[in-house]
Amino acid sequence: MCQTQYRFKKDPCSCANNNEVDVEHISIKWEVCFQLRMLIGSATLRCKMLTQTDKIQLDVRDLAIRSVSINGKDCDYRIAPSVYTFFGSKMKIYIPNELQKEGLTLNVTINYSTSPDATALQWMKKDQTVDKKAPYLFSQCQAIHARSIVPCMDTPSVKTTYEAEVTVPAGLTCLMSAISEGSKGDEEKTTFFYKQPVAIPSYLIAIVAGLLEKRDISPRCAVWAEPSVVDKAHWEFSETEDILATAEEIAGEYIWGRYDMVCLPNSFPFGGMENPCLIAHSWSGNLVTNSSWESFWLNEGFTTFIERKICGRLVSESYRQFMSFNGWTNSLIPAVYEQFAPTHQFTKLIQDHTNVDPDVAFSCVPYEKGSALLFYLEQLLGGPEIFEEYLRNYIKTFAHKAIDSNTWKKHLYEYFHDKKEILDGVNWQGWFYAVGMPPNKPVYDETMVKDCENLLQKWLEAGENEVDKMTVDEYKNMQPLQQIEFLSQLRQHETPIEHYKLDAINKLYQLNESENCEILLQ
């Protein structure tokens, strides 16, 4: 069932008329054509009429529409390109007079194919994969790219269930962001069936197709990868069940059934995946969702905050504090002062995306500014234990819904009704709408930062005859993020470090042999 109980300012990145029509369910049928770099098939949208209207408005981008029908009968439609190409086009489907009634359910079937240049899809030739035996396809629909693979109300304020029937060349596997319902095939093709019973926003529709093998981690967790790397991926993600169980202690029951991961080829264009972060999204983002990308911090700020709580449980509270301090210092400050400027509109927590591509506005600001706000509020309102009780109530209250920042703030006041004076003292205007750095910096425990500084100081003070006496233990006992911080401080030191010290550090800590790309980057 579609979840659109809350009505907000219209999402400026979508032309959907979701105030008039709900898309409750989508049935997808695709054939993956690697040669043409296209998905060919259809989508049937089950639409609930919320009011009397003569149209259904969907977002599309570069789709070749062959036909449209409502309840099995062909109907008229019109596609009007946006002035801004990144928004794609408005697809207006005209509802026959006799069906323009509040409460009716309409089945709208659209036969179409995607463009070879669909912005949500990455087509890879076999030589771009690790094993170089078969082509590969993966999708990335966030923020507004789902419209390039399926006609939809491409706004996070609309949540819908979906099912899919996807055909791929024999020997390949298709995975989706849904529960597997099995497969069938012959010598030439295999069709995979998926069903997602939990309503999700369009940006969470996902597909992967390629030569893949599976390794189970636990009864509900598994990892998929190309055959030559699947065992290595299994080892890398062996702690997933422990992380997921810890997340449940903080945020509540995991309702998605399975937590399966795909280890993509090395040519995947995004940075490394922080597993606790992606797990945290199962609650903040996927279950409780920002109603538009203008309040992206409700997805990412909460997720970053919960991710660090998970790491705090698994490692130590000092480590959570270190991660938060590191985010403020090494992510938020550079974003505000280097990526943008302290006066730039994209440094606001709540942004105006009128005629703005949300991909252009993307940065770590919603992650770190949002997380810092929650950390600050946790300290104001009684500490971690009290705030975690609030987190669980927040997630339970808004599960399966999409909300905006004002709805979040209203709930915060209602939950902490006995602390209204404290909340009234928060500079909400500064946190929400001011450019630049936040109006307040949380108080962070810097113990683990000082460990990095102390190790650096030892190297700076060591003479040429003393570097050979340095031991690996202090560095080895650090968390990987601390090691990265130490190397970052070393690299950014105001005076050049002698070459013999750099050689000694590299040799002692075996930096060139590290498999951590962040360490190698330093």
Nearest to 396, CA basis, from 280, 289, 251: 251
Nearest to 213, CA basis, from 134, 311, 144: 134
- What's the gap between Cα 201 and its chain centre? 12
Report d(CA 228, CA 212) in Å as an integer: 10
Nearest to 30, CA basis, from 93, 121, 140: 121
CB atoms within 10 A of CB 319: 20
Q: Is 98 annotated as a binding residue?
A: no
Residue 153, amino acid: M
Strands 259-262 and 221-225: parallel
Q: Which two tokens stand for residue 95?
A: 């509802």
Strands 221-225 and 121-124: unpaired
Q: Which two tokens stand for residue 332?
A: 């938020």
β-bridge partners, 68: 110
Report d(CA 348, CA 332) in Å as an integer: 12
Asked if residue 41 lies in contact with residue 28, where contact means CB atoms within 8 angstroms, the answer is yes
Q: Which two tokens stand for residue 417?
A: 């009704």
Asked if residue 169 lies in contact with residue 189, where contact means CB atoms within 8 angstroms, the answer is yes
Q: Which two tokens stand for residue 361?
A: 């506005």
Q: What is the dihedral of CA 3, 7, 12, 14, to 10 degrees?
A: 30
Nearest to 25, CA basis, from 187, 158, 223, 218: 158
The crossing angle, in degrees rounded to 10, of helices 405-415 and 384-398 is 130
3-state secondary structure of 112: strand
Residue matched to tokens 């055959």: 227
Report d(CA 227, CA 222) in Å as an integer: 14
Q: Phi-psi bin for 502: left (phi > 0), alpha (psi -120 to 50), beta?
A: alpha
Q: Is 281 annotated as a binding residue?
A: yes
Report d(CA 454, CA 456) in Å as an integer: 5
Q: Which residues are annotated as a binding site for Zn(2+)?
A: 281, 300
Q: Which residues are annotated as a binding site?
A: 281, 300
